[in-house]
A and B are shown apart, each in its own frame.
Chain A
Amino acid sequence: MKFWRTPLDIDKLQIPRGELHILKERCKGCAFCVEYCPKGVLELSEEFNSKGYHPPVAVKPEECVNCDLCEMLCPDFAIYCVRTEAGEKEVTT
């Protein structure tokens, strides 16, 4: 992560990590989650669900910062993210 100045408490900061859950069968392929994920974690897959839509797939799951924006924007309650404590990364400049 890039900072415009080094935070004074850098040794205490941790970047949250999230584990994504995609409920493929409920998805209608709108791509709101793909478009607005700040970390570019998601892409629409080639795969079809049983309704004929392309659900998203996490192409960079390790980049997810558990911001929940995908979960909030999804109009079909088809994606959510859970914070994982174990995977937290140290912040470096």
Chain B
Amino acid sequence: MSAKVEELIKEEHPMERLLRMDRIPHIWCPTCGLGTTVTALSTALEQLQLDLNNVAVVSGIGCTGRVAGYMKLDSFHTTHGRAVPFALGLHIARPELKTIVFSGDGDLISIGGNHFIHTARRNVDMTIICVNNFIYAMTGGQVAPTTPLTAKAATTPYGNWEHPFNLPLLAASSGAVYVARWTALHVRRLTAAIKEAISKRGFSFVEVIAPCSTLYARINKLGTGLDLMKFYHDNSVIRHGADLNDVDIDFQSKIVVGKFVDIEKPTYIDCLNEGGKRAFGDKYKPYGGGNGNN
């Protein structure tokens, strides 16, 4: 069916340069925001004019996790929660690559939460793009550690009563050197943030609030993904450098967006070399690395 639909299309969309067209149309639902976030990443990569042979995208499992499978780059679809440790191994083995992790809130922050905080703590030079749709979408809308208080999920039909993580605060307090949050509607600012994050030496984190129409919006009776985009339009507050204690997201509350953290700090490989020099002096041969910047 899908292949037949593609046969009817005679012209080439500019995004096709970065997509595996044999897998398009993608599986995402109508009014899902994930496709928009892929355009933001692709546009960022094109605008940075990077050698795409030196860019790798790693995803875990979930609707967002399918991004790696759609990008025409060296891309890796890992097991659930293990995108970050896979990316860490890739970075250590091939430090000249730009390593980008693109995955969901459940994948990165729930099952993969420990990898996330420790990789941030070590300031490993990689970019994490986390699409937060407030739910485990792919498996049917179970509650996630990002589901706002009182929001409904398939497993919390009377409303979630657990405190969710505040992702920018979690990333920054764990050691990230770049932290930003935008919604899928802010597609240009999101693209600019992804460009900055990829160019940053160290652990950079971009949270993207995006609509899941089929589960989050439906279970919470919020309409379609278009209604969620309109909600972001009316309720996003741009506050660069905001106090991260104030950027929690409550159910249908204001969403504070912006660039929150942009600092310099030695990376994991910098510290490894520093430690080696301290211990072995001139006998130590520094290990090469930086995210393609050096």
Chain A residues packing against B (C-beta within 8 Å): 21, 23, 25-26, 28-32, 35-36, 50-51, 53, 69, 71-78, 80
Q: Of B6, B16, B19, B226, which contacts A32 at CB under 8 A?
A: B226
- For residue B137, CB closer than 8 A to chain A, the reply is no
Chain B residues in 8 Å Cβ range of A53: 30
B13 in contact with A35 (CB, 8 Å): no
Number of inter-chain CB pairs below 8 Å: 82
Q: Report the Cα distance A21→B11, complex, angstroms.
A: 9
Q: Whose C-beta in chain B lies nearest to the C-beta of A72? A: B187
Q: Report the Cα distance A23→B25, complex, angstroms.
A: 12
A30 in contact with B31 (CB, 8 Å): yes
Interface residue SS majority, chain A: loop
- For residue B40, CB closer than 8 A to chain A, the reply is yes
Chain B interface, number of residues (Cβ within 8 angstroms): 36
B8 in contact with A50 (CB, 8 Å): yes
Chain A residues in 8 Å Cβ range of B15: 77, 80
Chain A residues in 8 Å Cβ range of B40: 72
Whole-angstrom distance between the Cβ of B193 and the nearest chain A Cβ: 14
Q: Report the Cα distance A5→B191, complex, angstroms.
A: 31
Chain B residues in 8 Å Cβ range of A28: 29-31
Chain B residues in 8 Å Cβ range of A50: 4-5, 8
1/0 per residue, CB under 8 A from A, across B52-94: the answer is 0000000000000000000000000000000000000000000
